[in-house]
């Protein structure tokens, strides 16, 4: 089945034309079809769709087909069910983070879009799958609601872009610092395997007076820790500005929206929307992954809650949450030429700032930022680049080989190998990276990360960016 699916992707230009022809024919016959009852029409079309689309596309009959905007590669074959991919864990060879034996369906999707000349269709944020529509006809949705309308590629002239803040609330402190044009520093503080808030407080004190905000991971690496919400509240009570990470892996849309309201009620305003690592990456691989939403559809939901005071269902909120919305990016994983559009898609969904995966290759970052500036995306969204110290050449090699989406150049590994003190050399490399990144036009700041090495991170901030 996979071989047929990949053949279809390679011939996506022809299949796009066939798809458009079928759509035009159905719409022409719409008055005839709509004489049937909706249930009968759905059964008729589903009975045709199921065998044809299953054979050609390995279709999962989600009821809301997006093949025309995914290069004929069905995203429901993604183990994370990412409908707005790819995730940041695509391996160097283009294979899937969760299942290395298969190609990432989104690298296939991008290849299909390029082959057919429909790259602009990627820009449309796709809504979350409606699980009640599973097994029903996608063509009946087209007949009742009309075909999708795809956006243009977007202007490159910054004078044509008017960034408007639509939130009903004034900017919070982190947003204000970013909007003032100050080069920001954010740090990561991993929640403890503990119920004692002092385990957070003792480590957080290293960052006092040094950082503009502190990120709190949400079950990173698919491992269980104190919740991001509770940890963020502890940090806020200490006087820090928390950025609460929100992963889709463990909660459905009902729980996610409820937690957004709860966070806002507790004064936690900065939200980083993530799809999340696969459960196989953690120490409880038998857990049930949820992945009801992906990072883009979570952004859409949070934006609608803030700007329109409504849930995804359309039900009205009494009080809208005060949120500053962020997303993650990995511009160093394949396919590289997709990532500027990936950023544009997340901006369209609601992202106001982004934080990237670790950057160890400044030349690759500069190439990415040139593409970002060509689309004026840095005007619409604040870009914060991830950095961190490498402990040794061995750990750098391990990260490159075992952490999907991680890119550590050979030159960095050789430098570590040739040094007398690899840990100190890793620290020096990180300081140099921060200083070089600060000079790149369009970069708004750095996000500094190293698991439970807060003292070292504080030293790097002091030595690289004296404040």
Final residue before a domain boundary, out of 145, 172, 199: 145
Least confident of 12-21, 337-346, 453-462: 12-21
Same domain for 419 and 321, yes or no, is yes
| DSSP 8-class letter at 213 | E
pLDDT on residue 361: 96
Q: Are residues 313 and 436 in the same domain?
A: yes
> pLDDT tens, 141-175?
888 887 776 655 444 444 444 456 666 778 889 99
Please report whether residue 111 resides in a domain. yes
Length of the chain: 467
Helix (H, G, I), strand (E, B) or coil at 263: helix
Residue at a domain's end among 145, 180, 214:
145
Percent of the chain scoring above 70 in pLDDT: 95
> Count of CB atoms within 10 A of residue 439's CB?
10
438, 305: one domain: yes
Q: Per-residue pLDDT averaged across 292-320, rounded?
A: 96
Distance CA 304, CA 320 (A): 9
Do 138 and 186 sit in the same domain of this protein?
A: no
Average the pLDDT over each of 146-160, 305-319, 330-344, 435-449 and give the range with the smallest value: 146-160
408 to 149, 280, 397, 437, 466: CA distances (angstroms): 40, 23, 8, 16, 27
Return the C-alpha torsion angle 420, 423, 424, 428, nearest 10: 120
Percentage of the chain exceeding pLDDT 90: 80
Q: Please determine, for residue 466, whether its predicted confidence score (pLDDT) is greater than 60.
A: yes
Q: Examine the domain organization and report whether 127 and 169 are in the same domain.
A: no
246-272: per-residue pLDDT in tens?
A: 999 999 999 999 999 999 999 999 999
pLDDT at 395 over 80: yes
Look at residue 300 and give its three-state secondary structure. Answer: helix
**CA distances in angstroms from 189 to 9, 12, 95, 375, 452, listed in the order given:** 42, 45, 30, 33, 7
Pair 301, 251 in one domain: yes
Both tokens assigned to 153 = 């590629």
How far is residue 322 from each of residues 102, 167, 233, 269, 395, measured CA to CA in Å? 41, 8, 15, 6, 40
Per-residue pLDDT at 417? 96
DSSP string, 175-203: HHHHHTT--EEEEE-PPPSSS-THHHHHH
pLDDT of res. 155: 43
Read off the pLDDT of residues 22-66 as tens digits, 9 standing for 90 and up.
Answer: 889 988 999 988 889 989 999 999 999 999 999 999 999 999 898
Cis bond upstream, residue 138 (ω within 30): no
From 270, 318, 314, 278, select the one nearest 294 (Cα to Cα): 278
123, 237: one domain: no
Q: What's the structural domain count of the chain?
A: 2
pLDDT value of position 4: 82
Domain assignment present for 153: no
Mean pLDDT, residues 297-306 taken together: 97
CATH number at 285 reads 3.20.20.220
Is residue 150 in some structural domain?
Answer: no
Q: Is residue 214 part of a domain?
A: yes
What is the structure's pLDDT at 164?
62
User: pTM for this one?
Assistant: 0.93
Neighbouring-strand partners of residue 103: 95
Residues 406-424 have a mean pLDDT of 95
- Do 251 and 353 lie in one domain? The reply is yes
Inform me whether the pLDDT recorded for 337 exceeds 70: yes
Residues 132 and 269 in one domain: no
* Domain assignment of residue 89, given as a range: 2-145
Judgement on whether residues 280 and 387 belong to the same structural domain of the protein? yes
pLDDT at 143: 87
Q: Are residues 417 and 355 in the same domain?
A: yes
Asked if the structure places residue 48 within a domain, the reply is yes
> Does any domain span residue 420?
yes
Give yes or no for residue 239 having a pLDDT over 50. Answer: yes
266 domain-assigned: yes
Quick: pLDDT tens for 67-118.
Answer: 988 999 999 999 999 999 999 999 999 999 999 999 999 999 999 999 999 9
Q: Share the mean pLDDT of the chain.
A: 92
> Is 151 part of a structural domain of the chain?
no
Residues 302 and 179 reside in one and the same domain? yes
| Rounded Cα distance, 445 and 386, in Å | 9
270-282 pLDDT, tens digit each: 999 999 999 998 9
Q: Number of C-alpha atoms within 13 angstroms, CB side, residue 163?
A: 15
């Amino acid at each position: 089945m996979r071989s047929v699916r990949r053949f279809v992707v390679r011939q996506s230009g022809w299949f796009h034309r066939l798809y458009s022809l079928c759509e035009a024919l159905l719409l022409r016959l719409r008055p005839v079809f709509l004489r049937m009852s909706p249930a009968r029409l759905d059964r008729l079309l589903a009975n045709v769709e199921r065998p044809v689309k299953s054979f050609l596309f390995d279709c999962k009959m989600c009821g809301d087909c997006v093949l025309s905007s995914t290069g004929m590669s069905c995203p429901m074959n993604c183990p994370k069910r990412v409908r707005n991919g790819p995730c940041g864990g695509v391996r160097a060879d283009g294979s899937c983070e969760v299942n290395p034996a298969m190609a990432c369906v989104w690298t296939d999707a991008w290849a299909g879009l390029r082959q057919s000349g429909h790259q602009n269709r990627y820009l449309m944020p796709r809504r979350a799958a409606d699980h009640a529509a599973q097994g029903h006809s996608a063509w009946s949705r087209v007949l009742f609601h009309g075909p999708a309308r795809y956006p243009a590629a977007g202007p490159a002239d910054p004078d044509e872009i008017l960034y408007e803040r639509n939130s009903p609330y004034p900017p919070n402190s982190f947003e204000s610092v970013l909007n003032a044009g100050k080069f920001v520093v954010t740090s990561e503080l991993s929640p403890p395997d503990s119920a004692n808030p002092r385990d957070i407080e003792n480590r957080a004190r290293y960052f006092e007076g040094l950082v503009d905000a502190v990120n709190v991971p949400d079950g990173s690496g698919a491992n269980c820790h104190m919740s991001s919400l509770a940890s963020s509240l502890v940090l806020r009570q200490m006087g820090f500005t928390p950025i609460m990470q929100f992963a889709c892996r463990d909660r459905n849309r009902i729980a996610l929206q409820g937690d957004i309201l709860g966070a806002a009620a507790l004064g936690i305003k900065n939200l980083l929307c993530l799809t999340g690592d696969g459960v196989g990456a953690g120490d409880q691989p038998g857990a049930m992954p949820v992945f009801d939403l992906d990072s883009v559809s979570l952004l859409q939901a949070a934006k609608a809650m803030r700007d329109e005071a409504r849930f995804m269902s359309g039900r009205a909120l009494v009080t809208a949450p005060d949120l500053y919305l962020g997303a993650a990016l990995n511009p160093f994983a394949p396919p590289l030429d997709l990532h500027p559009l990936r950023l544009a898609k997340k901006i369209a969904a609601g992202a106001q700032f982004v934080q990237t995966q670790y950057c160890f290759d400044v030349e690759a970052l500069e190439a990415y930022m040139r593409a970002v500036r060509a689309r004026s995306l840095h005007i619409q969204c604040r870009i914060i680049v991830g950095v961190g110290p490498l402990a040794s050449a061995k750990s750098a090699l391990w990260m490159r080989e075992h952490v999907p989406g991680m890119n550590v150049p050979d030159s960095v590994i050789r430098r570590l190998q040739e040094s007398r003190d690899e840990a100190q050399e890793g620290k020096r490399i990180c300081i140099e990276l921060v200083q070089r990144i600060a000079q790149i036009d369009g970069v708004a700041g750095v996000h500094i990360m190293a698991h439970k090495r807060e003292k070292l991170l504080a030293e790097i901030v002091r030595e690289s960016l004296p404040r």
